[in-house]
Amino acid sequence: MFEVKNLTKVYNDGTVALRNISFPVEEGEFLVIIGLSGSGKSTLLRCINRLIDPTEGSIVWDGVEITSVDPKLLREIRRQIGMIFQHFNLVKRSNVLTNVLAGRLGYVNPVSSLFYRFPEKDRNLAMNALERVGIADQAFKRADELSGGQQQRVGIARALMQHPRMILADEPVASLDPVLAHSILGYLEKLNQEDGITVICSLHYLDLVQRYASKVIGLREGRIVYRGSREEIRRMTDEEFKNIYGQEAIRVSAGKRERDG
């Protein structure tokens, strides 16, 4: 059981990114967060694994208060939460295999890993992860030699190496074209359904949301303005959509160029 309660984040410059946000996440859910750029989606995701420290509120996972754990326990929590990013955030100069192995850093011996030494078992695991996302043949290329879709798959493989119970995906397909978007989200759906990994994902395109989400939260200026189940999101009206995305928003499908983010 994972629950966010009264979460607020105020940045040092005074920007209020999140205002009193609360929501529960069931085990095995595919939760999609929608909202304009700057509505607080990325901040919310980063508060969950404390890449950003929230200002107020609590995040409880299986009875553990994430917002106040000590660094050692925080690392143990983080390694159970895989994360993928809009810009993939791979180490461009390292090869694909090393990037994937980096997902194992929370588990391996901290000293020998400093010299890029990993147990044989982990190397096999990495190759399996790459096979699972279909790019095992690219394992020894430099990460920046891969196409965008391939790089995001490396990102997924890296998250898989953590044996995560939860995956946070921060606009994972915003830098990719629509065909690749379905392919990447397809992998996430597979992990969600086959491995039972909880997915919290921020998305822009409504038809992608309708296709993949089991639950939706709409953010606007740091507040939750919409909550909907799988069925409700499929019946989403233009009125509700405009409420989240502002009056000028029009419905766009993943096949077309979006307006206003």
Contact footprint for other proteins (CB under 8 A): 46, 49, 51, 75-83, 85, 87-94, 102-107, 110, 113-114, 116, 155, 158, 161-162, 168
Beta carbon of residue 20, minimum distance to other proteins (angstroms, whole number): 25
CA distance 35 to 47: 17
Determine whether 181 is exposed, middle or buried from the number of CB atoms within 10 Å of its CB (0-12, 13-18, 19+): buried
Residue nearer to other proteins on the CB measure, 11 or 246: 11
Question: CA 108, CA 41: separation in Å to the nearest integer?
Answer: 31
Least distance CB 116 / other proteins (angstroms)? 8
Closer Cβ to other proteins, 11 or 116, answer by number: 116
For the CB of residue 225, give the shortest distance to other proteins in the complex, in Å.
27
Nearest approach in angstroms of CB 77 to other proteins is 8
Helix (H), strand (E), coil (C) string for 33-56? EEECCCCCHHHHHHHHCCCCCCCE
CB nearer other proteins, residue 40 or residue 155: 155
SS3 of 115, please?
helix
CA 245 to chain centre: 21
Query: For residues 78 and 215, which CB has a smaller minimum distance to other proteins in the complex?
Result: 78
